[in-house]
Amino acid sequence: MDLSEFVSDVGPNQPVSIAGLGTRGGPVDGVHTVMAPVGVESVQADEMTVRCGAGTPVEELDAALAAFGQSVAIAPSGTVGGALAVGHSGIRRLGYGPIRDTLLQAEFVNARGEIVKAGGPTVKNVSGFDLCRLLVGSRGTLGFIGEVILRTRPRSTYEQWFTTTDDPFALFPNLYRPTSVLWDGTTTWVLLEGDRRDVERQARGNGLRVGELPPELPTGGRWSVRPAELPGIIGSGEFVAEIGVGVVHHTLPAPSRPVDPAVVELHRRLKHEFDPDGRMNPGVDVLAAA
């Protein structure tokens, strides 16, 4: 994919922000805004990888991969680059793993307006610092992703959401590789994938009922909660917890918590090394948004 126009648009000097479809926040106000290239460049079905522009809508990528019986572990909203920049995995993280493991290679524009390639098309040929994982969750403050190679996974032949009012913590050890387990303090939703007969057998064995899709996730705040602390949030407002992951989607902002000064200093040094003039997404605070 030709990134020359994207590089030219980012430039080497002025403050600049990057925008996608607006599902994860908009561009920085009053700052020159760019958009990453769009399009699925190639699908290597036998290698289980896909190359695409970072501005490609995730739904468009998913549709292209469906023809090969594959998918990517990225929630189906917004753009590929936006999902990686924010670093929030979807509700299938329990079964699919964190979003950072999806990114194999990235070509991004740094603060000097240069193209940098990080990672490699396969896991085995990567050496040196793992810049790909550093980019995931950086919210565009270290560089703007232009093109990526992603790890794909087989698309399940059958999947079904189930519900129960049983204690999710008592249920969890009896489930075999659930894709997702959600709980709102009253109802538990379980997503199972695989052969239909195996899924139905597991559901019967655990008293699960075929259910509708889980409720829309609250957007007030994204909390990080230890399993032992989850019962304590009942009554604090509406929430949906991802059991086995530690993420709680809540109607209220996440409670403030002290940040280790060493972590703050590490972030400051990294930002200075990558962007000493602070021109990439100026004003975006990665720690505050985490």
Rg (C-alpha) for the chain, rounded Å, is 20
Mark whether 8 and 150 lie in a shared domain. yes
Mark whether 41 and 134 lie in a shared domain. yes
pLDDT of residue 68: 96
pLDDT of residue 86: 93
Mark whether 205 and 179 lie in a shared domain. yes
Q: Which among 154, 181, 215 is the end of a domain?
A: 154
Mark whether 147 and 172 lie in a shared domain. no
pLDDT at position 165 over 80: yes
What single letter denotes the amino acid at residue 238? E
Q: Examine residue 267 and state whether it is found in any structural domain, yes or no.
A: no
**In this predicted model, which residue has the larger pLDDT, 286 or 67?**
67
How confident is the model over 52-75, as a mean pLDDT?
96
pLDDT of residue 235: 84
| Cβ atoms of residues 123 and 104 within 8 Å | yes
Report pLDDT digits (tens) over 192-206: 999 999 999 999 999
Q: Which among 136, 154, 172 is the end of a domain?
A: 154
Mark whether 215 and 229 lie in a shared domain. yes
Extract the tokens encoding 250: 């809540």
In whole angstroms, give the CA distance from residue 268 to residue 26: 23
CATH at 95: 3.30.465.10
Mark whether 216 and 83 lie in a shared domain. no
Alpha carbons within 13 angstroms on the beta-carbon side of residue 179 total 17
Mark whether 107 and 141 lie in a shared domain. yes
How confident is the model over 147-154, as a mean pLDDT?
96
pLDDT of residue 125: 55
Mark whether 145 and 166 lie in a shared domain. no
Number of domains within the chain:
2
Q: Tokens 């290597």 map to which residue?
A: 44
In whole angstroms, give the CA distance from residue 290 to residue 271: 16
Mark whether 89 and 195 lie in a shared domain. no
How confident is the model over 176-195, as a mean pLDDT?
96
pLDDT of residue 23: 78
Mark whether 129 and 172 lie in a shared domain. no
pLDDT at position 129 over 70: no
In whole angstroms, give the CA distance from residue 181 to residue 178: 7
Alpha carbons within 13 angstroms on the beta-carbon side of residue 20 total 26
pLDDT of residue 183: 95
Mark whether 163 and 150 lie in a shared domain. no
Task: Tell me which residue range forms the domain holding 122.
Answer: 4-154
Neighbours of 84 (CB within 10 A): 25
In whole angstroms, give the CA distance from residue 186 to residue 165: 6
Q: What is the mean pLDDT of the chain?
A: 92
